[in-house]
Amino acid sequence: MDIEKRVTQLVEEKIADRSDLFLVSVKMHSSGKLIILVDGDKGIGIADCAAISRHVGFHLEEENIIENAYNLEVSSPGIDAPLVLPRQYVKNVGRQLAIKMADGSKKEGRLTGMTEDAVLIEEIKKEKGKKAEAIESAVPLAQITETKVLISFK
């Protein structure tokens, strides 16, 4: 039995009645650490993480899927975790992003929206002797290797 697949089913089952929550990833590490990342359109609280953890833990024990000792961790993706799902982009509209492109280039700008296959960002371009101007561009998802939200402490 594929542990990650079963855990994905269990999480989806638990959050089925919560349209604001969504599963980001499930990863079983060889060290015995099972990490479940769940997020919400308005974030996710500790109570929700605990409820998911109890549900998954209970079923894993009942079904005896994992033979060795394991450590179950349910949390939201960290502030420095790359965005993975389109829904995470939508949640972060209005924030500054740093995008690494497949060709090695980088883009930085304010996320203004999304289409089915692209991220819309507003980049500030400044040429010498001219006023800075905001240029909106569509960045195809297929060309993005990593996107992170830039944290501003201003």
- Band (pLDDT 50/70/90 cuts) for residue 26 is very high
The answer, yes or no, to whether residue 131 has pLDDT greater than 90, is no
pLDDT tens by residue, 52-70: 999 999 999 999 888 888 9
Strands (DSSP E) contained in the chain are 21-28, 33-40, 71-75, 96-101, 106-114, 118-125, 133-140, 144-149
Spell out the domains of the chain, with CATH numbers in brackets: 3-75 (3.30.300.20), 86-149 (2.30.30.100)
Mean pLDDT of the chain: 92
> Helix crossing, 3-14 with 46-63: angle to 10°?
130
DSSP three-state, residue 94: coil
Average pLDDT over residues 29-44: 93
Torsion of CA 68, 71, 72, 73, to 10 degrees: -150
pLDDT of residue 122: 95
pLDDT of residue 79: 81
pLDDT of residue 1: 64
Closest CA to 7 of 50, 61, 46: 61
Report the alpha-carbon distance of residue 144 to residue 150 in Å, rounded. Answer: 16
3-state SS, 114-149, equals ECCCEEEEEEEECCCCCCCEEEEEEEEHHHEEEEEE
Is the pTM of the predicted complex or chain greater than 0.85? no
pLDDT of residue 68: 85
The answer, yes or no, to whether residue 154 has pLDDT greater than 80, is no
**Tokens standing for 127?**
């040429």
